[in-house]
Structure 1
């Protein structure tokens, strides 16, 4: 061992400096000296090759002791008899630790079992002294002026440096004042959001997660908020969720939901949302009254939309358990969520989340769908689509999905939608510049066509067909095919077919599109089916026959396209036979 280490461990000098005077200045120097000795021992311990596990435990205890002394070093007054005696005992333990380190480095110990026992004893002593320092601070025997937290390791720092920093924060969380705890929690939240490695280190340190969980019940608002923020970040890592649950986090999180701090509630709800991705935790949350607490948040109009949205997110995860879903329905959950959708002052996030959870609850459950319709859920969703009202696109997209889900099996739903102006809203959004909303409106039109003959007639009266023709030029093959299929379904209704042909541009646009589509595309088949349906109308046959695209249809017929053949047959019959005389004999 070097001269520097030996000079650091001049125990006689250390004891004299700690025992000769009770002045703060001498105690300050004793603490500084102890910090130097501990730092030296930590460095030396890395060079020891024998009893590696034992020395790792000792090194951990030394780092905890170092952090605790660093905290006390920055107190305003450290003139205290209890501290003097504890420091004296610490120096004795450090001397024994140094002697053991020398023996292990030189392999000069008499027996392995005896050395292992000595190492266990010194490790326990160091742990006891850290607790003694914590008790001295907690009992208010020292007064804090300011606290200097260890400098945050630079990006790319070694794991040992990062671990030392987190352990220093842990010491402050254990023995610090309320302000120091807040400062330490803020520092911890900063590093875990910047570098994931700190999360892993914190989880691996004994009692760190447990301490964060305990802070959730703190009466100090800032401590509770920062602790809730920290556990919500840790819960973002699937591998560590079991650690949080094992530390008993569920019950404290539910209690936070019932506290008055909205910020703490948001972090707690965010944490619960991540934890409930595993359905195994659902029963635990329910057992601690979590469902009722979350429902209360959703039903309280004073809560922010963000908090309500998070609460809905947790409940959405919980409804996967049939018994919990049944309980929610019995407690009036559906009415609560519909109320949130209706709310004029409600935030978009709460409205979107409410629709989302209703969709989840109704999935595969006809009885739930009937309750939603009966309690005015469809009317509330149609209102979200009203262009005169201000709703974000995401909310409108969710509303359209909800309507299609809740109404597809209801006989009376179309009449309800018609009375609420649903068709007018769909027409409006077919013109929307936002592609996602426009395509969803097209899907709604496609869905409506499949509901009933009355729906097709009403859509024809509302002017859907010219709009659908415009979509035939879309760059999206899916959009083209959906528009074509919807148009084909509508044209099967004689009244719609007549109206379609009356518009001079419609037939021409169909023929233009037919000329441009790929030879073997599915959309070509749909276009030909539409034209075939139109040939039952005299004016349509005439327009097709007189168009410049007739040769295209003839060419398709010659290539053995059955749909094109049928069109040509229809055109060549009756008074058009002379136009195609001798063209088609088969």
Structure 2
């Protein structure tokens, strides 16, 4: 009788051969499994576990087997037996030779449980082996540009294994490098059971580098829809807020960036508020320079998403958000942070008169008008956002705005704003002012706006011509402005000359001329302009009315001449 060989007496070469045999068998089964057309869900689960098993075996194979390892040999022997069973089940399912569905389902469940047991066993063996080595080899990253989903999954399973055995920093760096290069592969990691949860756990790590790497990984995961859902399931919001509060500057930025992405979904807004996110984020925004510009901007971005909920917006107000944001908006701490603060103020002011009054009471209008000052060293983009705030906050406080020199600032940009965006912004502000109140119209007329607007009627830009015309039309509703307008002989001549019978865009100009035709002096200047034929050729109602009034004036002139002769 031949004595059965004791596994513990096997040589290292035998261990390597059996390990290689197991790896080859798993590889073969992974290749075959997609062709199985029955019990697909169970085979997909088995395939995922085979891939994880493959990852562990490959990692063990990369370790130096310096002597006999009875635990490993026993584990591999059991794995080979399970793989033989798996191959037999795969053959039956491929050839449809199984005896019954219920029996096959039971066999597949038993197979799945055995694979789980093998994975857990190898995980412990690998951890013990790596603990004895100062450096552990990592499975080579595939060429991501051409890698199949299976190759990426295999690589990420190896990353996952290393996370579990304590190689946190190296594994997280490997994942982040992959995520930066090919974002589309992130979803493969999200599909690995437990992968996201484990990364989220490292957000509370006391090792700065590990915490930063985990924050970057979580931010990448939040960049895909499925990733956001996975992070919510992994309860990521609370550790993210803790990272924002107490992490390094980089960790805070990465965590805040992740929260910006997650709060784009209103379902997650309440979770951020419930975990104390509002005070933590406001502290960053109003910390008087304690945080970097990028972090402040991101914190404002999260709060902007949170402010979409009225109850949370009210909580921000109670927590003193306005004063700090106004200070930030008026600071020279950085354009990005300044714009973010202005954006948030605009959201807070929208649809709530009490919030607008609070902003005004804290000197908000003075700060906003100061940004519009030509002497203020800010970008056009910052001025655009400030102007949007002004139009929202000053719905009932235009007088205060004008008293602080807003109209003078706008007129300066209208006259000397060389860059088109600056001039367009000034024109939008003009149009807003001209429709705000009669007081604003009067002040604009006295300041000399109308002559500048007439010049802009000849701009090459259609948009500028249209806004300039509509602003003039608003201003000329006041009789005092009409009198002041016709005092400049050229103003009426330009309007008459610009009427083009061949074009269909005369509506605004005709509206202005119709308004002016109420004045005797304006009608006389129209008659003397030399461009009456431009109006005579038009069939619009305004044109007919203007011609009627001018005809009457002409008749009066003839009658007066006849009467006095």
Unaligned runs of 5+ in 1: 1-11, 582-586
Is residue 2:508 matched to residue 1:526?
no
Is residue 2:59 matched to residue 1:59?
no
- Deviation, structure 1 residue 449: 2.0
CA distance in structure 1 between the partners assigned to 2:41 and 2:434 by the alignment:
73
**Residue aligning to 2:378:** 391
Is residue 2:116 matched to residue 1:127?
yes
- Deviation, structure 1 residue 110: 7.0
CA contact (8 A) 1:235 1:241 kept: yes
Is residue 2:404 matched to residue 1:420?
yes
**Residue aligning to 2:132:** 142
Is residue 2:165 matched to residue 1:175?
yes
Unaligned runs of 5+ in 2: none
- Deviation, structure 1 residue 78: 4.8
CA contact (8 A) 1:49 1:105 kept: no
Partner secondary structure for residue 258 of structure 1: helix
1:93/1:516 CA distance change after superposition, 3 Å: same
1:206/1:389 CA distance change after superposition, 3 Å: same
Is residue 2:448 matched to residue 1:463?
yes
Task: Please give the per-residue CA displacement for 1:75-134, whole angstroms capped at 9, x wherever unaligned.
Answer: 4x55477x5413422222223321441365266777765655444334323322322333
Is residue 2:143 matched to residue 1:158?
no
**Residue aligning to 1:3:** none
| Number of residue pairs aligned between Structure 1 and Structure 2 | 554
**Residue aligning to 1:211:** 198
CA distance in structure 1 between the partners assigned to 2:152 and 2:214 by the alignment:
20
**Residue aligning to 1:356:** 343
Task: Please give the per-residue CA displacement for 1:281-319, whole angstroms capped at 9, x wherever unaligned.
Answer: 222111110111111111221222222122111111212
Which of 41, 61, 86 is the matching residue for 2:72? Answer: 86
Partner secondary structure for residue 247 of structure 2: coil
Describe how 1:60-79 pairs up with structure 2 within 5 A.
Answer: 60-75=48-63, 78-79=65-66
Which of 295, 307, 310 is the matching residue for 1:319? Answer: 307
- Deviation, structure 1 residue 528: 2.2
TM-score (norm 2): 0.87
CA distance in structure 2 between the partners assigned to 1:520 and 1:50 by the alignment:
69
**Residue aligning to 1:263:** 250
Describe how 1:194-209 pairs up with structure 2 within 5 A.
Answer: 196=184, 198-209=185-196
More displaced stretch, 486-495 vs 311-320:
486-495
CA distance in structure 2 between the partners assigned to 1:269 and 1:388 by the alignment:
34
- Deviation, structure 1 residue 543: 3.1
CA contact (8 A) 1:382 1:422 kept: yes
Is residue 2:232 matched to residue 1:245?
yes
- Deviation, structure 1 residue 375: 0.7
**Residue aligning to 1:551:** 533
Which of 233, 236, 245 is the matching residue for 2:223? Answer: 236
Is residue 2:21 matched to residue 1:36?
no
**Residue aligning to 1:584:** none
Which of 256, 259, 276 is the matching residue for 2:263? Answer: 276
- Deviation, structure 1 residue 232: 2.4
CA distance in structure 2 between the partners assigned to 1:230 and 1:580 by the alignment:
93
TM-score (norm 1): 0.85
CA distance in structure 1 between the partners assigned to 2:179 and 2:144 by the alignment:
16
CA contact (8 A) 1:269 1:307 kept: yes
Task: Please give the per-residue CA displacement for 1:229-262, whole angstroms capped at 9, x wherever unaligned.
Answer: 2332332333442232122111111111112322
**Residue aligning to 1:371:** 358
Aligned-residue CA RMSD (Å): 3.2
CA contact (8 A) 1:166 1:202 kept: yes
CA contact (8 A) 2:394 2:401 kept: no
**Residue aligning to 1:450:** 435
More displaced stretch, 391-400 vs 505-514:
505-514
CA distance in structure 2 between the partners assigned to 1:276 and 1:475 by the alignment:
43
1:158/1:86 CA distance change after superposition, 3 Å: same
Task: Please give the per-residue CA displacement for 1:400-442, whole angstroms capped at 9, x wherever unaligned.
Answer: 11111111212xx42x333432122212322434434422321
- Deviation, structure 1 residue 557: 8.1
CA contact (8 A) 1:305 1:350 kept: yes
1:33/1:520 CA distance change after superposition, 3 Å: closer
CA contact (8 A) 1:276 1:282 kept: yes
1:80/1:311 CA distance change after superposition, 3 Å: farther
CA contact (8 A) 1:182 1:222 kept: no
**Residue aligning to 2:493:** 508
CA distance in structure 2 between the partners assigned to 1:307 and 1:267 by the alignment:
9
**Residue aligning to 1:409:** 396
Partner secondary structure for residue 364 of structure 1: coil
**Residue aligning to 1:571:** 553
Partner secondary structure for residue 62 of structure 1: helix
1:580/1:517 CA distance change after superposition, 3 Å: farther
**Residue aligning to 2:81:** 95
CA contact (8 A) 1:71 1:176 kept: no
CA distance in structure 1 between the partners assigned to 2:173 and 2:134 by the alignment:
13
Task: Please give the per-residue CA displacement for 1:148-201, whole angstroms capped at 9, x wherever unaligned.
Answer: 3333245354333332233232222222523422332223423542xx2x2332
CA distance in structure 1 between the partners assigned to 2:502 and 2:448 by the alignment:
25
Is residue 2:467 matched to residue 1:482?
yes
CA distance in structure 1 between the partners assigned to 2:541 and 2:297 by the alignment:
58
CA distance in structure 2 between the partners assigned to 1:113 and 1:493 by the alignment:
89
CA distance in structure 2 between the partners assigned to 1:440 and 1:575 by the alignment:
45
CA distance in structure 2 between the partners assigned to 1:144 and 1:323 by the alignment:
54
